């Protein structure tokens, strides 16, 4: 395996964020705020058996692919072998499993396996992707979370990410490896999974979901903004041991998100929309939350019920610390980010007229 002082290792490389991060790291990232900062670098990408290794190799000759399973410590050791001084970006995780126990098997145990292997191999730093879920929903519509906000995990996924964060902090505390935790909210952009394309289709078909009045706010992160934040978290010395929220400049209301997608579909991509919404009363999310909690208490998970339970919530964060300490500058906002997302879907043949 080829090593380099500038080597970046990426777990979850076949996933939405992981694939884009491999692309950005290996081919560079243009940035008006940081011209020339994000140059091409060698990347070692970790994928599960059966995932698209060839697609990653086609991104750049600088990409090396390792196939294995993060539940296997021997595979983790093989992934980091010979990478002394490198940085690992741990993007692997599970959001919508079949069983609740998978949250903890993947989000907690696999993270511990990766960090243990990385520390043993002498890697310099681990940048670990967390979530907004360990902090839950904002207590009021005008509130924004920051890095001092207390834990209030949202059901089992939130608990698993909280336990993961605590485990990461323990590696840092013991001096085993430098760590940086990154909390992204809902992100969007190219390489999106089917659930995000379904969201566009629902808006096109007049079934875009609005629970309550639709004025609840959501922080979002365009995927290249998130990749910029991850890259900086790996490079900036003072980030060691720190936690950062990474998102777009400001939160958006759910109405703004749906209206923006609808307008772009029609005005820029000539995809007719039905100009309706699937409107549900706020109590629908409350009932879904109760059902979701009941199912999870017996180890079951149902994605649609879980998503509905969050639809009326404000989940908004401040990026002030990332701006101040990392030099993070989100350069893409909602309209341009959704424009790129829709264009990618159309180019891939995933989205068109109903």
SS (HEC) of 155-188: HHHHHHHHHHHHHHHHHHHCCCCEEEEEECCEEE
| DSSP class of 38 | S
Q: What pLDDT was estimated at residue 2?
A: 47
Q: What pLDDT was estimated at residue 3?
A: 53
Q: What pLDDT was estimated at residue 178?
A: 98
Helices (H), the chain: 16-27, 53-57, 73-80, 101-104, 111-120, 155-173, 194-204, 223-235, 254-267, 283-297, 303-310, 320-326, 334-347
Q: What pLDDT was estimated at residue 190?
A: 92
Domains, the chain, with CATH or none: 8-188+220-249+315-333 (3.40.50.720)
User: In terms of Cα–Cα distance, which of 315, 344, 33, 282 is closest to 149?
Assistant: 315
Structure tokens at 151: 């834990």
The pair phi, psi for residue 220, each rounded to 5°, is -135, 160
Q: What is the pTM of this model?
A: 0.96
The owner of tokens 């790291």 is: 25
Low-confidence ranges of the chain (pLDDT < 50): 1-2
Summarize pLDDT for 95-105 with one digit per residue, the tens.
Answer: 999 999 999 99
What whole-number distance in Å separates Cα of residue 313 and Cα of residue 289?
11
Cβ partners under 8 Å of residue 231, min gap 6: 24, 25, 29, 38
Sign of the torsion angle spanned by Cα atoms 263, 267, 269, 274: positive
Structure tokens at 292: 């979701």
CB burial of 303-322 (b: ≥16 within 10 Å; e: otherwise) equals eebbbbbbbbbbbbbbbebb
What whole-number distance in Å separates Cα of residue 318 and Cα of residue 313?
17
Q: Mean pLDDT in the chain?
A: 96
């Amino acid at each position: 395996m080829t090593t380099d002082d500038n080597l970046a290792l990426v777990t979850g490389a076949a996933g939405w964020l992981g694939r884009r991060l491999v692309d950005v790291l290996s081919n560079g990232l243009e940035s008006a705020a940081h011209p020339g900062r994000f140059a091409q670098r060698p990347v070692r990408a970790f994928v599960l058996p059966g995932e698209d290794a060839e697609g990653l190799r086609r991104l750049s000759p600088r990409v090396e692919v390792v196939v294995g399973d993060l539940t296997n410590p021997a595979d983790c050791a093989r992934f980091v072998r010979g990478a002394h001084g490198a940085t690992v970006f741990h993007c692997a995780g599970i959001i919508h499993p079949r069983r609740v126990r998978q949250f903890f098997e993947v989000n907690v145990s696999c993270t511990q396996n990766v960090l243990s292997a990385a520390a043993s191999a002498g890697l310099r730093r681990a940048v670990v992707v967390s979530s907004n879920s360990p902090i839950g929903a904002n207590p009021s519509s005008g509130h924004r979370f920051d890095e001092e906000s207390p834990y209030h995990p949202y059901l089992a996924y939130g608990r698993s990410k909280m336990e993961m964060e605590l485990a990461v902090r323990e590696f840092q505390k013991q001096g085993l490896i430098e760590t940086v935790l990154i909390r992204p909210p809902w992100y969007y952009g190219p390489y999106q999974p089917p659930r995000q394309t379904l969201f566009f289709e629902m808006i096109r078909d007049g079934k875009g979901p609005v629970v309550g009045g639709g004025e609840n706010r959501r922080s979002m992160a365009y995927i290249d903004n998130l990749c910029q934040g991850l890259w900086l978290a790996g490079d900036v010395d003072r980030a060691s041991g720190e936690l950062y929220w990474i998102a777009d400049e400001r939160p958006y209301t759910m109405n703004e998100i749906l209206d923006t997608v609808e307008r772009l579909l029609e005005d820029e991509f000539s995809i007719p929309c039905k100009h309706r919404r699937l409107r549900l009363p706020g109590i629908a999310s409350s009932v879904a939350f109760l059902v979701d909690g009941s199912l999870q208490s017996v180890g079951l998970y149902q994605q649609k019920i879980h998503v509905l339970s969050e639809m009326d919530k404000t989940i908004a964060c401040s990026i002030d610390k990332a701006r101040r300490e990392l030099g993070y500058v989100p350069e893409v906002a909602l309209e341009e980010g959704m424009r790129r997302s829709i264009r990618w879907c159309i180019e891939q043949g995933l989205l068109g007229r109903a």
